[in-house]
Every structure is written in structure tokens, then in C-alpha cells.
């Protein structure tokens, strides 16, 4: 296996810590207050509110991971305006917006060591991909929900000051991660510090924090990842090794990204990353980053593409959307977006490397 029990457990521990940290920030009102400011900045314009919703979802995903976006930001965006376009903003940006930092997605953490890049080097390589993905998602949602967005948005809520302590803790965690620290350690420290602060102020409860940790889901992710990783040692793994291109030209990167997209929507993106990483890593950092585009951006293709999609359904997406519409939107837009992002990656890395 590419990853042993210790390394995978560390990655899942990072997820747990970040979800607890995000829940403590939510208890302090961080998401609701920022959501209120976003609604005010929109000034009654539905398209402007969509732009802010997309940008906010992309930022939360990049910094606090995609699970924080779908679990904690989705209800805020729906509360700002109960429309399908805003609900989809959190779902789609949770996946497409998770390409920026090594800590934005568990898949990123899985492949980060194989890229040979530093934290900042990874971010610099993926920055244009992330920007294009975010802009494209806004264009997609604006076009798909054009009729809905012609109606003005609701009146903005009263504005409150953004709580500085949660922002400071999140920035400190991010800076520590950028310094090269083992990811779960600063995440756990930030979760403990933020949780203690929120508990002392009675802004959250132990029950809320435990629910945010979602230990059963983490155990399921770990178990499923190991099952698929074991399959990678069988003939199935050999087949994927032979199917993956070994070059780093545009054609090879496109094929890697599209294979990764299909695999993510067959077995989920985390196990798909485990299956495909050995072959991609042997070809160099650019193929590994193309793999990430396939399993992250490509996870918008179907509901099972990522765990985040399923969490989003339970966090409010179910009330405004249907599984049929989710898949129609995914099939119509996700493959072209994966191709566009991969072309951007190829062009950018050809310049900087």
C-alpha cells in the first residue's frame, strides 16, 4: 500500500480536528456573521449574491476544508436566500474549490508528499487552476439558474462585527501548516484552543463538537480507503497502473484527469486517489496534480463522487434540490471543466517548471 495505517490515520485525524475547529468557529457566529455581510454587499442583487456565495464557499473550502463548507456554510447560504443556485454554490465549490492548498481536501494530503513540492510550491502550482475553477463555477451556476437569478434577493440582515479570535486562530493554524508542520498537529491545537474558547463562552456544547467530529464517518472513510488500497495490490491495481499514462504532456495529463474523474465517481474520490496515485507519482508532480483535478473537480459529476456531496444533502441541499438535477448539472458541466482545468495546469506548469 502507498499509505500505511499511521499515515492514513493522521490524515483522518486532520479532518476530525478541522471539523471541530470549524464547528467552534460556527458557535462563535463566524459563518453567520460573514454570511450576513455577504448578503449586505449583494445589495439586493441575486447575481451579486451568487458571486459572493461562490467566493465565500471557495475561501472556506480552501482554508477549512470542503467538509466545513458543506456542513457549516450550506445552512448559512440557504438562510441568506433559500434558492437552488446558492445551495449548489456550496456543493460544487466544496469540490472544485478544494484544489488550492495541500490541506483543502483529504485527497490533497494523500498526494502532497508524492509531489515533492513545498506547501507554497503546491499552492503556487494550483493557484491558476483554482481561480479558473471558481470563475467557471460561477459562470455555470449563473447560466444554469438564470431564470431564478432574475428575481431580486431578500433584504439583507443586520450587520455584526466579525469575531476576531476565530479568525486569528484559523490564520495561525494556516501559517503553521504552511511552515511544513505535520498537518494534524496544528489542526488539533487550533481545535482545542477554539473549542475551549467557545465552550467557556457557552457558544457551543460538547455534544455539538462531538457531532462535528463525526467519528463514525471517519472510521468508515478509513476502512473503505484500506479496502480499496488493498485492491490496489491485486490485479485491479495492476490494471490501473497500465491504464495510466506515464508522460506529462497535455494529452497524458488530460487522460490522467479523466481516468481519475471516472474512478472517483465509481468508488469515491479518496479511494480512487489511493488506487491511482502510485502510477501518477511515478510520472512526476504534474501528473499527480492532474490526478487531483480529476478526483476533486471531477467529484461534482455524481452524488457519490465525494463524501462532501452526501454531507451536503444532509446539511440542507436535499430541501432545495433533487438527485436528478444534481446529476444533470454534473454530467453537463463537470467533464468540460475538468478538461479546462487540466489545460490550465499544463500551460502554467510548463511556464513555472
pLDDT tens, 131-143? Answer: 999 999 999 999 9
pLDDT tens for residues 309-333? Answer: 988 987 778 888 899 999 999 999 9
| 3-class state of residue 83 by DSSP | coil
Q: pLDDT grade, residue 1 (50/70/90)?
A: very low
| 3-class state of residue 137 by DSSP | helix
| 3-class state of residue 72 by DSSP | helix
Q: In this model, does residue 127 exceed pLDDT 80?
A: yes
* pLDDT value at residue 318: 81
* pLDDT value at residue 275: 85
pLDDT tens for residues 81-107? Answer: 778 898 899 999 999 999 999 989 989
Q: pLDDT grade, residue 2 (50/70/90)?
A: very low
Angle formed by the axes of helices 119-144 and 106-115, to 10°? 140
Q: In this model, does residue 120 exceed pLDDT 90?
A: yes
Q: How many other CB atoms sit within 10 Å of the CB of residue 323?
A: 12
Q: In this model, does residue 230 exceed pLDDT 80?
A: no
* pLDDT value at residue 307: 84
* pLDDT value at residue 156: 60
What average pLDDT is seen over the chain?
Answer: 87
* pLDDT value at residue 253: 97
pLDDT tens for residues 14-26? Answer: 888 888 988 888 8
CA angle 12, 183, 210 (to 5 degrees): 45
Q: In this model, does residue 78 exceed pLDDT 70?
A: yes
- Hunting for cell 467529484 — which residue is that? 299
Q: In this model, does residue 338 exceed pLDDT 50?
A: yes
Helices (H), 116-183: 119-144, 146-149, 164-178
Contact 270, 291 (CB under 8 A): no
Q: pLDDT grade, residue 6 (50/70/90)?
A: low
Distance CA 124, CA 161 (A): 32
Q: In this model, does residue 278 exceed pLDDT 60?
A: yes
Distance CA 184, CA 177 (A): 9
Helix (H) / strand (E) containing 290: helix 285-296
Q: pLDDT grade, residue 177 (50/70/90)?
A: confident
* pLDDT value at residue 263: 92
* pLDDT value at residue 64: 82
The mean per-residue pLDDT over the stretch 213-238 comes to 76
The mean per-residue pLDDT over the stretch 64-80 comes to 79
The mean per-residue pLDDT over the stretch 284-305 comes to 96
Q: Closest by alpha carbon to 67, among 187, 161, 164? A: 187
Q: Taking the domains of the chain in order of start, what are their residue ranges?
A: 5-352
Residue 110 or residue 92, greater confidence: 92
Q: In this model, does residue 157 exceed pLDDT 70?
A: no
Amino acid at each position: 500500500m502507498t499509505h500505511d495505517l499511521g499515515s492514513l490515520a493522521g490524515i483522518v485525524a486532520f479532518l476530525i480536528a478541522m471539523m471541530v475547529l470549524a464547528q467552534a468557529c460556527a458557535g462563535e457566529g463566524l459563518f453567520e456573521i460573514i454570511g450576513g455581510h455577504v448578503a449586505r454587499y449583494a445589495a439586493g442583487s441575486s447575481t451579486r449574491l451568487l458571486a459572493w456565495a461562490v467566493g465565500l464557499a471557495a475561501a472556506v473550502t480552501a482554508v477549512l476544508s470542503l467538509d466545513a463548507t458543506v456542513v457549516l456554510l450550506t445552512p448559512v447560504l440557504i438562510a441568506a436566500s433559500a434558492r437552488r443556485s446558492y445551495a449548489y454554490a456550496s456543493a460544487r465549490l466544496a469540490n472544485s474549490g478544494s484544489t488550492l492548498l495541500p490541506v483543502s481536501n483529504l485527497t490533497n494530503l494523500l498526494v502532497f508528499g508524492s509531489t515533492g513540492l513545498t506547501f507554497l510550491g503546491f499552492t503556487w502550482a494550483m493557484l491558476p487552476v483554482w481561480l479558473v475553477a471558481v470563475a467557471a463555477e460561477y459562470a455555470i451556476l449563473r447560466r444554469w439558474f438564470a431564470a431564478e437569478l432574475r428575481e431580486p434577493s431578500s433584504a439583507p440582515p443586520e450587520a455584526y462585527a466579525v469575531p476576531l479570535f476565530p479568525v486569528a486562530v484559523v490564520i495561525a493554524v494556516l501559517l503553521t501548516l504552511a511552515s511544513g508542520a505535520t498537518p494534524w498537529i496544528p489542526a488539533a491545537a487550533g481545535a482545542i484552543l477554539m473549542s475551549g474558547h467557545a465552550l467557556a463562552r457557552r457558544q457551543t456544547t460538547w455534544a455539538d463538537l462531538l457531532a462535528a467530529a463525526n467519528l463514525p464517518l471517519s472510521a468508515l472513510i478509513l476502512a473503505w480507503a484500506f479496502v480499496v488500497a488493498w485492491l490496489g495490490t491485486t490485479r485491479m491495481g495492476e490494471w490501473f497502473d497500465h491504464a495510466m499514462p506515464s508522460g506529462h504532456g497535455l494529452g497524458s495529463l488530460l487522460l490522467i484527469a479523466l481516468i481519475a474523474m471516472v474512478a472517483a465517481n465509481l468508488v469515491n474520490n479518496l479511494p480512487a486517489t489511493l488506487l491511482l496515485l502510485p502510477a501518477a507519482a511515478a510520472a512526476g508532480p504534474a501528473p499527480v496534480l492532474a490526478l487531483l483535478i480529476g478526483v476533486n473537480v471531477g467529484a461534482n459529476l455524481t452524488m457519490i463522487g465525494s463524501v462532501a456531496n452526501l454531507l451536503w444533502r444532509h446539511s440542507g441541499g436535499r430541501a432545495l434540490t433533487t438527485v436528478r438535477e444534481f446529476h444533470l448539472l454534473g454530467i453537463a458541466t463537470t467533464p468540460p471543466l475538468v478538461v479546462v482545468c487540466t489545460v490550465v495546469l499544463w500551460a502554467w506548469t510548463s511556464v513555472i517548471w
